[in-house]
Amino acid sequence: MKLSLCTITFRHQLISFADIVRFAHRHHFDGIELWGIHAQDLYDHDRIEMEEQLGILRDQGMSISMLSDYLDIATSSGFHRTLEKAKRLISLAKWLNVKQIRTFAGQKASNEVGSEERARYVHHLYILCQMCQEHGIQLLVETHPNTLTDHMSSTLALLQEVNHPALKINLDFLHVWESGADPIDSYEQLKPWVAHYHLKNISSSNHLPVFAPHNVYAPNGDREGMVPLGEGVVDYGPILEKIADTDYFGSIEWFGQNPKLVLAEEVEWLRKGMLLVRK
């Protein structure tokens, strides 16, 4: 498994992409997961500098692991805006030489989505997958609460319903655990579609609301319960045994305080854990 950091970790800090590249190289990351908003801003305002940094990134053996954003598949009359956004993301992905774009499968819990509404989601995902495939890009839906991938049964059904080779899974082990499913069993069931991992942890299920998007993106949002991978309720030991030797990226998704310190410790912890698995 290759390891990447997420630029969303630095969403509330004034830090340049060049500084992030230097930090990632110094701490032996393999790549950087780039938030779509960050990618667009760099393209619009710092394109020349960004291209220089991309060259440095490649020279140091790193890459942009994934472009992460949100494509609205629920809308009906406004789906043309989703298609326009998808086109922009695909253009950015090609500029960055990225082969994966991450989105969510809607913004409602799967048990709240009726059959007609679900059929619309599926149809829209299929169209987006077709667009991505034409450019050699995979579209990843993340296992996440309040989406069609919030439970294993709905996730597996969605993959069969869309039935497109470009549709893959960004497997967030914490959110799978949050749904009540076993992370290892879920990984085995989703293995044919898994193409990326999100790695994070929590001290207690009581604190899971801290990962709600509205809280995560708020500068003064609650961060209580966010803990390093080795200190939370999800046991990453058995997970590493399964994924350490896979070819995909695992992004350390840290939303808490002291990002540089925590990321440096996390990547070292993961490297040591993967070494132990291989012995």
Measured CA to CA in angstroms, residue 2 lies from 70, 190, 204 at distances of 24, 19, 28
> ∠ CA(257), CA(9), CA(32), 5° rounding?
140
The residues annotated with a catalytic role in the active site are 144
Exposure b/e, 109-133, CB count within 10 A at least 16 = b? ebeebeeeebebbbebbbbbbebbe
From 55, 121, 100, select the one nearest 193 (Cα to Cα): 100
Nearest partner of 96 among 31, 146, 144, 159, judged by Cα: 31
Report the candidate in 104, 182, 106, 114 with the shortest Cα–Cα distance to residue 143.
Answer: 104
Domain 2-278 in CATH 1.10.4160.10: no
Cα–Cα distance, 65 to 99 (Å, whole number):
8
Per-residue pLDDT tens over the stretch 143-201: 999 999 999 999 999 999 999 999 999 999 999 999 999 999 999 999 999 999 999 99
Domain spans of the chain?
2-278
How many C-alpha atoms does 111 have within 13 Å on its Cβ side? Answer: 6
Per-residue pLDDT of the chain (279 residues; tens, 9 = 90+): 999 999 999 988 778 999 999 999 999 999 999 999 999 999 998 889 899 999 999 999 999 999 999 999 998 889 999 999 999 999 999 999 999 999 999 999 999 999 999 999 999 999 999 999 999 999 999 999 999 999 999 999 999 999 999 999 999 999 999 999 999 999 999 999 999 999 999 999 999 999 998 898 888 899 999 999 999 999 999 999 999 999 999 999 999 999 999 999 999 999 999 988 877
